[in-house]
């Protein structure tokens, strides 16, 4: 690339010029930061300020830009310049808004700003512009695995957007479980009665659409490649295989009903008059709007009871610990089958907590009450078959008494078990035996016959990794359809329990994501959360020790191995989190615009006062997704914190290389704070596993501190939510108090 031409632009607006000596900042940028020039502007983000910067870029005066103004999260549209490397010094939220405007604080506030200028200049100096990887591909064709309600909806939405779609369905008909339903929960006002499922019309729309191809009695037997250039083998039951290319993939493989034979206390399988909810749908379809017949003798049902949470929301062995979401509304719908056919039928819903989600849930419940459905709060314990009827034993939680209730039919709300495929996220067996580095995910609570859905050729496993209860992995807080396999999106009940209304929204969301993924892949742009990032990891092969930490720790399966067992980075699968960079013990992995050097040099250039000044320095490495926004909001709300902290945003706490901690301590920092997203199964971490891996690495930092003969309190790691705007200043101030208590580091120069 062309020679680096560095320039700094310092804003005086938003009170910066009133609180800081911007002339001194400009002098530091040129003398210590080694930029070619430093310009000041009253309002850098306005049209004149932006034009000034753009004019310098167009004239070839600068291609590495330092913006010293507000947070890097602010004014991103204004400071969006093509073909330049950009670093930002946060003088507003990070300095003047977190420090009091007093004479006593003036000196240390200026010192903060001075250091942020030094750090931004050092960072940009070691940045490079990302270059195309030449791996890009563009295939405007989406593979949808699963031909149920979710898959059909997703395929239609993709086709409406002008893209081709292929549906692979393993059975001989489209529609999935939705096709087995008599009617559906209403999804439109007045939410008073069950609706026709309309699945037949949906299937017809798919069949009539020339942009949609359907393969029945077929499975995906191999998936390789990456977003924009996936290759999938579609194999039919007859043994023929078709290989096609796709830009992205949606997994809509649905669910299986929980096996009610695991509930012997409810006589399922012992009496034909005990059915699950799907079994009741079959009876209702057979009745075709007339009175539902009892399976045992064909007589009309005169009393029916619906047992909620049968085998779910329970920690008993073999039960489902979660709520399946739709069951309460489904029971109300099914009770209406009986009341609509004959209002004199006794229909009772036995529940512990009745959950009626969605805009129309409460209206639907009220409609059920108006039709005469009885709702009883209780816990069922047993169903006893008697001659000609069933006796349900339960504890009435309102009357606090044991009740025996006679019924002709008992319906068990048993819940959903996802068709997620194989839950293996390990290295190949030979690597595991040799190195012992990989480990399997925790087993799910309820299992289904193990058969791969996607048959990925990824080193990390054949299917999308799963959450603790077996649902396909997704970041359901921020990126609900994004799995840990970039370009492959989960939708419908395979992702989480849901009803048809929610599945329709899920399908639409996944369809949009699938289209975005293939278009972004064509120009080398990253998926969320770093959408638009053109960087991707590279490594110095001559320094690689083949330790495989990067391949094992990558949360997204983006790293394979070449023939010589060196890392093979797949740009289109990469989310740009930098976890591989943090994992590398020899520091040979980097991104053009984010590397061990860009952060390391920013750490080293901070002015470290000597011990006689009694001004400690605290390094704060803050995840840019939750911790850094929390710090910004602390500034916006004028939460004060110590002037001795120096904040560096990192892509993910998983990208933190322990060398940064060692360098900081060796360079005289008195303390180090790491702030990352919350870890664990709820996956608030925007890169899923990054925060967890960082916590694991930092748990070993005590050994380094002991070798340096330093107190372990000098390095602290915290889980931060984006809403912790009062907590983050307190953590900083607590660390400052700790340093004051234990004293400055003996390693100061």
CATH number at residue 734: 3.40.50
Greatest distance between any 2 Cα atoms in the chain: 96
Q: For strand 538-539 and strand 559-561, is the pairing parallel, antiparallel, or unpaired?
A: unpaired
Residue 729, domain member (yes or no): yes
Instruction: Say if CB 397 and CB 379 are below 8 A apart.
Output: yes
Q: Is the pLDDT of residue 429 over 50?
A: no
> Pick from 364, 380, 414: which residue ends a domain?
414
Residue 27 shares a structural domain with residue 89 = yes
Residue 62 pLDDT:
97
Residue 124 shares a structural domain with residue 226 = no
Residue 543, domain member (yes or no): yes
Q: Is the pLDDT of residue 527 over 90?
A: no
> Pick from 129, 159, 180: which residue ends a domain?
129
Instruction: Measure the CA angle with vertex 278, ends 277 and 281; round to 5°.
Output: 95
Residue 586, domain member (yes or no): no
Residue 380 pLDDT:
95
Question: If pLDDT is split at 50, 70 and 90, which confidence band does 447 have?
Answer: very low
Residue 494, domain member (yes or no): yes
Q: Which residue has the higher pLDDT, 427 or 514?
A: 514
Q: In sequence order, what DSSP letters do the residues of 474-525 get, joined into one string? A: -BTTTBTTB-SSTTEEE-GGGTS---HHHHHHHHHHHHHHHHHHHHHHHTT-
Residue 367 shares a structural domain with residue 487 = no
Residue 89 pLDDT:
98
Residue 466 shares a structural domain with residue 368 = no
Residue 384, domain member (yes or no): yes
Residue 406 shares a structural domain with residue 447 = no
Residue 209 shares a structural domain with residue 326 = no
Q: Residue 240 is encoded by which pair of tokens?
A: 């023929």
Residue 682 pLDDT:
67
The model's pLDDT over 318-356, given as tens digits with 9 standing for 90+, comes to: 999 999 989 999 999 999 999 999 999 999 999 999 999
Residue 326 shares a structural domain with residue 428 = no
The model's pLDDT over 361-411, given as tens digits with 9 standing for 90+, comes to: 999 999 999 999 999 999 999 999 988 889 999 999 999 999 999 999 999
Residue 184, domain member (yes or no): yes
> Pick from 129, 159, 181: which residue ends a domain?
129
Backbone angles phi, psi at 93, to 5 degrees: -65, -30
**What is the rounded average pLDDT for all residues in the chain?**
92
Summarize the confidence of residues 31-44 as an average pLDDT: 97
Q: Is the pLDDT of residue 1 over 70?
A: no
Residue 291 shares a structural domain with residue 400 = yes
Q: Which residue has the higher pLDDT, 682 or 161?
A: 161
Q: In sequence order, what DSSP letters do the residues of 236-260 get, joined into one string? A: ETTS-EEEEEESEEEE---EEE--G
Residue 475 pLDDT:
78
The model's pLDDT over 153-166, given as tens digits with 9 standing for 90+, comes to: 999 999 999 999 99
Q: Is the pLDDT of residue 252 over 50?
A: yes
Residue 587, domain member (yes or no): no
Range of the domain at 699: 608-749
Residue 378, domain member (yes or no): yes
* Number of compact structural domains in the chain: 5
Q: Is the pLDDT of residue 685 over 70?
A: yes
Residue 749 pLDDT:
58
Residue 77 shares a structural domain with residue 174 = no
Question: If pLDDT is split at 50, 70 and 90, which confidence band does 428 have?
Answer: very low
pTM: 0.90
Residue 267 shares a structural domain with residue 336 = yes
- 373 vs 355: CA distance, rounded Å: 16
Residue 284 shares a structural domain with residue 395 = yes
Residue 683 pLDDT:
67
The model's pLDDT over 46-70, given as tens digits with 9 standing for 90+, comes to: 999 999 999 999 999 999 999 999 9
Residue 381 pLDDT:
95
Residue 423 shares a structural domain with residue 402 = no
Of all residues in the chain, the percent with pLDDT exceeding 90 is: 79
Instruction: Say if CB 690 and CB 725 are below 8 A apart.
Output: no
């Amino acid at each position: 690339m062309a020679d680096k031409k560095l320039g700094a632009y310092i804003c005086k607006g938003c009170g910066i010029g009133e609180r800081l000596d911007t002339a001194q900042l400009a002098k530091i940028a040129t003398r210590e930061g080694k930029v070619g020039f430093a310009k000041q502007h009253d309002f850098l983000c306005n049209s004149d300020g932006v034009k000034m910067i753009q004019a310098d870029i167009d004239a070839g005066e600068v291609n590495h830009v330092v913006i010293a103004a507000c947070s890097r999260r602010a004014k991103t549209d204004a400071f969006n310049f093509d073909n330049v490397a950009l670093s930002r010094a946060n003088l507003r939220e990070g300095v003047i808004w977190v420090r009091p405007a007093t004479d006593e604080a003036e000196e240390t506030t200026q010192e903060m700003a001075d250091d942020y200028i030094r750090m931004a200049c050092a960072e940009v100096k070691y940045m490079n512009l990302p270059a195309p990887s030449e791996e890009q591909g563009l295939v405007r064709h989406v593979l949808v695995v699963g031909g149920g309600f979710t898959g059909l909806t997703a395929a239609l939405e993709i086709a409406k957007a002008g893209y081709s779609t292929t549906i692979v369905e393993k059975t001989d008909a489209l529609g999935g479980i939705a096709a087995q339903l008599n009617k559906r929960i209403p999804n439109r006002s007045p939410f008073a009665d069950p609706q026709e499922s309309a699945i037949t019309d949906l299937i017809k729309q798919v069949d009539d659409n020339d942009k949609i191809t359907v393969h029945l009695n077929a499975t995906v037997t191999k998936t390789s490649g990456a977003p924009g250039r996936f290759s999938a083998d579609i194999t039919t039951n007859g043994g023929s295989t078709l290989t096609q290319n796709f830009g992205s993939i949606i997994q809509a493989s649905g669910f299986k009903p929980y096996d009610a034979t695991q509930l012997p206390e409810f006589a399922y399988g012992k009496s034909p008059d005990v059915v699950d909810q799907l079994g009741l749908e079959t009876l209702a379809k057979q009745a075709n709007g007339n009175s539902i017949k009892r399976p045992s003798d064909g007589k009309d049902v005169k009393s029916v009871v619906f047992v909620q949470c049968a085998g779910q929301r329970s920690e008993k062995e073999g039960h489902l610990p979660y709520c399946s979401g739709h069951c309460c509304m489904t029971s109300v719908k099914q009770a209406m089958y009986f009341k609509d056919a004959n209002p004199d039928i006794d229909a009772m819903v036995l529940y512990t907590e009745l959950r009626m989600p969605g805009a129309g849930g409460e209206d639907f419940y009220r409609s059920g009450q108006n039709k005469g459905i009885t709702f009883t709060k209780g816990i069922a314990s047993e169903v006893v078959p008697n001659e000609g009827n069933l006796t349900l034993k339960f504890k009435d939680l309102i009357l606090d008494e044991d009740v025996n209730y006679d019924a002709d039919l008992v319906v068990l709300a048993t819940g959903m078990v996802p068709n997620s495929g194989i839950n293996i996220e390990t290295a190949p067996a030979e690597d595991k035996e040799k190195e012992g580095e990989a480990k399997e995910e925790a087993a799910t609570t309820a299992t289904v016959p193990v058969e791969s859905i996607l048959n990925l050729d990824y080193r990390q496993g054949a299917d999308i990794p799963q959450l603790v209860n077996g649902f396909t992995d997704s970041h359901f807080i921020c990126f609900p359809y994004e799995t840990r396999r970039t370009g492959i999106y989960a939708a419908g009940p395979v992702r989480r329990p849901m009803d048809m209304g929610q599945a329709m929204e899920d399908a639409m969301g996944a369809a949009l994501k699938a289209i975005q993924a293939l278009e972004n892949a064509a120009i080398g742009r990253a998926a969320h959360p770093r959408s638009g990032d053109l960087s991707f990891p590279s490594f110095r092969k001559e320094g690689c020790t083949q330790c495989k930490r990067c391949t094992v720790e990558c949360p997204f399966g983006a790293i394979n191995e070449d023939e010589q067992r060196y890392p093979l980075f797949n740009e289109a699968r990469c989310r740009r989190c930098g976890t591989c960079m943090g994992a590398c013990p020899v520091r040979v992995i980097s991104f053009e615009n984010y590397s061990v050097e860009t952060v390391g040099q920013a750490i080293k250039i901070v002015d470290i006062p000597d011990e006689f000044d009694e001004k400690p320095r605290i390094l704060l490495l803050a995840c840019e997704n939750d911790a850094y926004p929390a710090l910004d909001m602390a500034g916006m709300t004028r939460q004060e914190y110590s002037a001795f902290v120096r904040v560096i945003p990192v892509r993910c706490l998983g990208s933190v290389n322990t060398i940064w901690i060692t360098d900081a301590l060796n360079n005289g920092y008195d303390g180090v704070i790491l702030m990352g997203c919350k870890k664990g199964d709820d996956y608030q971490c925007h890169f899923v596993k990054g925060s967890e891996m960082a916590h694991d690495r930092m748990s070993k930092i005590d050994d380094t501190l002991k070798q340096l003969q330093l107190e372990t309190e000098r390095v602290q790691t915290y889980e931060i939510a984006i809403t912790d705007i009062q907590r983050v200043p307190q953590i900083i101030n607590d660390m400052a108090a700790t340093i004051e208590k234990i004293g400055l580091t003996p390693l100061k120069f």
